[in-house]
Amino acid sequence: MRLYDFLDSGNGYKARLLLHKLGLSYERVELDILNGETRTDAFLAKNPNGRVPALELDDGTVLPESNAIITYLADGSRFLPEDRLQRAQCLQWMFFEQYNHEPSIAVARYILRHTPEDSPRRAELPTLAEKGNAALEVMERHLEGRRFFVGEQLSVADIALYAYSHVADQGGFDLARYPNVQAWLSRVAADEPHISITAE
């Protein structure tokens, strides 16, 4: 398998983390999204949406979208529940991650890490902070009395939400406001084998 990736990407990290946990071998291809490397004709032929990550399977099929990738990889493993309702609940939280969580927390992180201080995009930060904190509050309430997001063990729902939550401080979010989230982050990190977001 070949993973088209950008090392600073939380979405790419989801795939890298699960591949590591599953002990699967793959080739990682770094594409610099800051310099348009996902907009080349060669890459757009693989993923017309021009985004990473994208997982190229052994037969040449290319699967884009981080949460689709981790669902595919997790099939038949401990990370994707066999129970019908729990599988749907994993999807519920993965949809939440892409619709309510990532568009604010990941974008705020991107702006602070990759745009100059005088960038007009800095004006987006107060709105992103409001929406991101609302998402973290939803997570905080759900994790009251729970160890993981679905069932009693780590799942693709946790991996999807962990990726940008554990670096939310880089987007200006104060995780000390969310003790249940902090405790959950520690549990996810303690599940071995584990790698950091910057590990290739």
Q: What DSSP string runs through 105-127?
A: HHHHHHHHHHS-TT-GGGGGHHH
Dihedral, CA atoms, 111, 113, 114, 119, nearest 10 degrees? 50
Check whether residue 70 and residue 88 sit in a common domain. no
What percent of the chain is helix, strand and coil (3-state, nearest 5)?
55, 5, 35
Average of per-residue pLDDT across 74-91: 98
The domain in which residue 162 lies consists of 84-190
Check whether residue 143 and residue 168 sit in a common domain. yes
Which residue, of 20, 53, 74, is where some domain finishes? 74
5 in Cβ contact with 31 (< 8 Å): yes
CATH classification of the domain holding 40:
3.40.30.10
- pLDDT, the chain, mean: 97
What is the number of domains present in the chain? 2
Q: Single out the residue of 134, 106, 108 nearest to residue 121, CA to CA.
A: 108
Q: Quickly state the pLDDT bin for 21 (edges 50, 70, 90).
A: very high
pLDDT of 28: 98
Specify the pTM: 0.96
Which residue, of 74, 97, 112, is where some domain finishes? 74
Check whether residue 57 and residue 99 sit in a common domain. no
pLDDT of 199: 79
pLDDT of 198: 87
Check whether residue 90 and residue 156 sit in a common domain. yes
Distance CA 3, CA 75 (A): 18
Average of per-residue pLDDT across 95-117: 97
